């Protein structure tokens, strides 16, 4: 009986394992064709200035609707794209696509907004990244001041000297640099001082349980006051409730992003969001 159970246990695990492997291969194969099949789209999530209530920009987030697999979350396909190197071509497409969208918004006469693009570790290590960004800015004719890049702490800590050099070459272009998911990686505070960055995005895991978790409130306050004293912009991710917004406002956080204001949405819905807020501001005379 024990043997039988053992064998069942074994096959249960191996079946699970091979299912995981099959899915991984399906995602990889699908991703190889996603660009040419035009299955990728970019959605935009507003970033709101907590002092003025104005939308100062947005984060661009990639979406993949695969013909075979349906909607696949970035949490699943970005790591596969990263491991296979496909992220270099995909990331390049995102940068070009977003800059073309920024251009369209400029041409519509909209107030200047800064749009943030997530960079992957692999992309960040590409020796010609800064050069490629210059090309894309020229191609689309937008100012580098309208583009922001989000990087994670792990990308900077791994090879600090090289990372600083890469950041400097990006910074020289005039793009804004921010650290994403701040507080979840190896936040070396001394590195923070040396990196030419503009903003810290407080990870949503610290924001989620405000105001229930007094620990998370303390951590969030500490990040805000440290960031402010380094003259960085503080952005809170994953804000879902008014209580969270009020807490962040009261503690000096500059910008918030999250479902409380809007989910990430397609360009036409982002435009509707902007138009609605503008007419609301006119009505209330602010
Ligand atoms: P991230 O850059 O930290 O993006 C924030 C994530 O939080 C997004 O998930 C967004 O949809 C989600 N989010 C925003 N507001 C809320 C909220 O109020 N509550 C909750 N629960 N979640 C919220 P998404 O779009 O699934 O993206 C996941 C991650 O995938 C991103 O995390 C980023 O690391 C990566 N990613 C997405 N697009 C790209 C891309 O174009 N390039 C690269 N390299 N990575 C990307
Ligand atoms: Mg991000
Ligand atoms: Mg984040
Ligand atoms: Mg994240």
pLDDT per residue rounded down to tens, the chain (286 residues): 444 455 555 556 667 778 999 999 999 999 999 999 999 999 999 999 999 999 999 999 999 999 999 999 999 999 999 999 999 999 999 999 999 999 999 999 999 999 999 999 999 999 999 999 999 999 999 999 999 999 998 888 878 888 999 999 999 999 999 999 999 887 667 778 889 999 999 999 999 999 999 999 999 999 999 999 999 999 999 999 999 999 999 999 999 999 999 999 999 999 999 999 888 888 776 5
Give the residue, by CA position, lying nearest to ligand 1 atom 23. 238
Q: Is the pTM of this model over 0.90?
A: yes
Give the residue, by CA position, lying nearest to ligand 1 atom 4. 61
Name the closest ligand to CA 238. 1
Give the residue, by CA position, lying nearest to ligand 1 atom 2. 118
What spacing in Å lies between the alpha carbon of 8 and ligand 3's midpoint? 41
Ligand 1 atom with least separation from CA of 73: 26
CB within 6 Å of ligand 1 — which residues? 45, 61-62, 73-75, 78, 91, 94, 118-120, 150, 180-181, 204, 237-240, 258-259, 264
* Residue in 40, 46, 86, 118 to alter for ligand 1 test, most ligand atoms within 8 A of Cβ: 118
What spacing in Å lies between the alpha carbon of 241 and ligand 4's midpoint? 19
Nearest to 202, CA basis, from 225, 221, 181, 218: 181
Predicted pLDDT at 2: 43
ipTM: 0.98
What spacing in Å lies between the alpha carbon of 59 and ligand 2's midpoint? 7
Ligand 1 atom with least separation from CA of 117: 41
Give the residue, by CA position, lying nearest to ligand 1 atom 30. 74
Predicted pLDDT at 3: 45
What spacing in Å lies between the alpha carbon of 173 and ligand 4's midpoint? 26
């Amino acid at each position: 009986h024990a043997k039988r159970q053992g064998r069942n246990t074994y096959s249960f695990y191996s079946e699970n394992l091979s299912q995981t492997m099959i899915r991984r291969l399906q995602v990889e194969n699908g991703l190889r064709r996603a660009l040419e099949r035009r299955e990728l789209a970019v959605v935009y999530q507003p970033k709101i200035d907590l002092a003025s209530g104005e939308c100062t920009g947005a984060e661009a987030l990639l979406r993949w609707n695969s013909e075979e697999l349906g909607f696949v979350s970035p949490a699943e396909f970005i790591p596969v794209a990263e491991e296979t190197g496909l992220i270099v071509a995909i990331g390049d497409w995102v940068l070009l696509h977003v800059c073309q969208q920024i251009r369209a918004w400029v041409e519509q006469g909209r107030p200047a907004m800064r749009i943030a693009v997530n960079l992957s570790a692999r992309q960040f290590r590409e020796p010609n990244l800064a050069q490629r960004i210059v090309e894309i800015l020229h191609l689309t004719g937008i100012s580098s001041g309208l583009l922001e890049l989000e990087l994670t702490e792990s990308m900077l800590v791994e090879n600090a000297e090289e990372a600083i050099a890469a950041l400097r070459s990006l910074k020289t272009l005039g793009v804004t640099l921010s650290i994403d998911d701040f507080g979840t990686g190896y936040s070396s505070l001394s590195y923070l001082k040396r990196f030419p960055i503009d903003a810290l995005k407080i990870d949503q895991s610290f924001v989620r349980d405000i105001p229930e978790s007094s620990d998370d409130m303390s951590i969030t306050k500490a990040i805000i006051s440290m960031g402010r004293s380094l003259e960085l912009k503080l952005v809170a991710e994953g804000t879902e409730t008014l209580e969270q917004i009020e807490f962040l406002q009261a503690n000096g956080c500059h910008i918030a992003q999250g479902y409380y204001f809007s989910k990430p949405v397609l360009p036409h819905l982002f435009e509707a969001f902007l138009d609605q807020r503008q007419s609301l501001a006119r009505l209330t005379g602010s």
